[in-house]
Amino acid sequence: MTLKIPLKVDNLNDNEKPFIFYYGAAMPVEVVSDKILISPFPGLVPGENPLKMGYRNYPVDMIYPETNNFNSVVEIPKGYKFAENIKEIKIDNPLVAISYSATLTSPDKLTIGGAYTFKKAIYLPHEYFELKTMYTTIVETFNNKIVLIKNQ
């Protein structure tokens, strides 16, 4: 991975504001036939659901409520177009909030935005199955590859 811009950090010493970091990267992409597959948030989102049990008799301690926001801009190479394989997601319930979308901001730039919030520090046993399902949604959605196809 080659950095295109230096790492920038906001609110490093201010506990009252969210910790924010910015970086740019040029990364190899996966090419399959006439398609380019791109991971919009490589290494930044969970790769698997840590909640593996079928049921739970005791609370899940998330330590604190947590929000993660992601924004990725993909430059579409000449001769390709966005395959529009992204399903927009908006979930907001008492346990979590999840949003994910992809927008063509210009003919050659695609912006992918996503956020998820675990709203509680402690999830009770009767909330476990829904929390596990929502965590699976986060893992699958945020790791879904962007598909670019050749113009016909």
Q: Which residues pair with 117 in a beta bridge?
A: 67, 97
Could you read off the pLDDT of 47-101 as tens digits, one per residue? 999 999 999 999 999 999 999 999 998 889 899 999 877 789 999 999 999 999 9
Question: Whole-prediction pTM value?
Answer: 0.83
CA distance 27 to 46: 19
- Of the candidates 42, 17, 20, 19, the one whose C-alpha atom is nearest the C-alpha of residue 29 is 42
Please report the pLDDT score of residue 6 as a whole number. 59
Could you state, in order of their start, the residue ranges of all structural domains in the chain? 2-150
2-150, CATH topology level: Jelly Rolls (2.60.120)
CA distance 21 to 108: 25
